[in-house]
Structures are given as structure tokens and as C-alpha cells.
Amino acid sequence: MKIRKRATEGESRELLLKEYFLNAYLIALLKQMGNGVRRRSDSVNAQVAQSVVEKN
């Protein structure tokens, strides 16, 4: 999404840079959350597998 308003050239560029860094931050945050969820599900899967082994 490009924000355009009738202002000086620098102002428009500044808004695009802010949008770029906000998007980069959100992508990094989502990636970090995905890694955390993966680690959590791996540990839960290991616990379930261990309980199945113990039952058999």
C-alpha cells in the first residue's frame, strides 16, 4: 500500500520508509511466533510419543 498525499517529496518518501520498516517488523514477529509454535508442538508431540511408548 503506497500512501500518497500532496506534500513535499521528502514527506511521501518518509511515509513509504515507515511502511517498509513496519512491514519488516511484522514479518520478523510472525516468523518468531511461527518458530515458537513449532518448538511447542515438537515438545508436545514428543510427550505424546513418550506416553504411547510407556503404555506399550
Q: What is the pLDDT along the chain (56 residues), one digit of tens a residue?
A: 565 656 566 667 888 889 999 999 999 999 999 999 988 898 888 888 888 888 87
pLDDT at position 55 is: 85
Question: What local confidence, expressed as pLDDT, does residue 23 receive?
Answer: 96
Distance, first Cα to last Cα, the chain: 56
Would you say the C-alpha torsion 6, 10, 15, 19 has a positive or negative sign?
positive
Q: Give the per-residue pLDDT at 54.
A: 86
Which distant-in-sequence residues (6+ apart) come within 8 Å of 12 by Cβ?
3, 4, 5
CB 19 within 8 A of CB 1: yes
Task: Give me the pLDDT at residue 53, please.
Answer: 87
